[in-house]
Amino acid sequence: MPSLSQLRAAHEPLLLLDAASERVQVGYFRGGGAFDWTGSDAEAGVGLFRCIEELSVDIGAVRAFAFCEGPGSILGIRTAAMALRTWGVLSPRPFFAYTSLGLFARALCGPGWAAIADARRGHWHHCVPGGPVTRVAHASLTGNLKMPEGFRHWSPLPEGVTIVPYVLPYLFALAPDADLFRPVAQPDAFLHEEPQYATWTPMLHRAP
Domain span including residue 123: 103-164
Q: What is the pLDDT of residue 195?
A: 45
Cα(10)–Cα(73) distance, integer angstroms? 29
Q: Report if residue 148 sits inside a domain.
A: yes
Q: Report if residue 191 sits inside a domain.
A: no
Q: Is the same domain home to 75 and 107?
A: no
Q: What is the pLDDT of residue 200?
A: 60
Residue 181 confidence (pLDDT) above 60 = yes
pLDDT band at residue 192, thresholds of 50, 70 and 90?
low
pLDDT in tens, 137-161: 999 998 999 999 999 999 899 999 9
Q: What is the pLDDT of residue 141?
A: 93
Q: Is the same domain home to 157 and 117?
A: yes
Percentage of the residues of the chain whose pLDDT score is greater than 70: 92
Q: Report the CATH number at residue 25.
A: 3.30.420.40
Q: Is the same domain home to 30 and 90?
A: yes
Q: What is the pLDDT of residue 58?
A: 96
Looking at residue 207, the DSSP 8-state letter turns out to be -
**What are the respective helix, strand and coil percentages of the chain, to the nearest 5?**
30, 30, 45
Domain count, the chain: 2
Q: What is the pLDDT of residue 207?
A: 62
Calculate the average pLDDT of the chain: 93
List the beta bridge partners of residue 163: 147
Residue 168 CA to its chain's centroid (Å): 11
Residue 5 confidence (pLDDT) above 90 = yes
